[in-house]
Amino acid sequence: MGLFDAFKSGPVVFNEKEAFIGVLVAAIGVDGEIADEEIDSLLTILNRMPTYSNDFSFIKSTYSKCLNTIRAVGSTGLLDAVVPQLNKSLYQTSFAQAIDIVIADGKVDKTEEDFIEKLKSMLFLDDNFVKNAVSIVSIKNRIF
């Protein structure tokens, strides 16, 4: 046993309500940068959902928990922790919102593409849904 092992905590556990936020924060952090606009986007998404609207303290504490997890194990590690807790009824919603966050800047790098592929696989989404979701979100994010 190492000198500091007694001070280390075990793996972070997320509940069902935190899991949706976790997917989105993982999408935000996948490129290694978190912009103010991405945080604003996250808050907009969550405030539109009855489960999270007007619960800023919960959102803030969950966001912090997610960031700490990303620092420890990365965005894909956060996905590994939250997806098993995610309500199946939110699989498609969380995927579409994650795509929206990832492609909001108009480009998708290899790390982001790998992240989306992993999320697709973890959520057991079919190719037809994924193609449609990417197409719709791409149209939504076009800058004219």
pLDDT score of 104: 79
Sequence-distant (6+) residues with CB within 8 A of 93 are 20
Region 63-72 average pLDDT: 95
pLDDT tens profile 98-114: 999 988 777 788 999 99
Region 26-43 average pLDDT: 89
pLDDT score of 70: 95
**Residue ranges of domains in the chain:** 16-140
pLDDT score of 1: 46
Instruction: Please give the Cα distance from 138 to 61 (Å, whole number).
Output: 31
Region 11-27 average pLDDT: 94
Instruction: Please give the Cα distance from 69 to 76 (Å, whole number).
Output: 10
Fold of 16-140: TerB-like (1.10.3680)
Q: Is residue 32's pLDDT more than 70?
A: yes
* Mean pLDDT for the chain overall: 89
Instruction: Please give the Cα distance from 118 to 43 (Å, whole number).
Output: 24
Residues 38 and 87: beta-carbon distance below 8 Å: no
* SS3 label, residue 11: coil
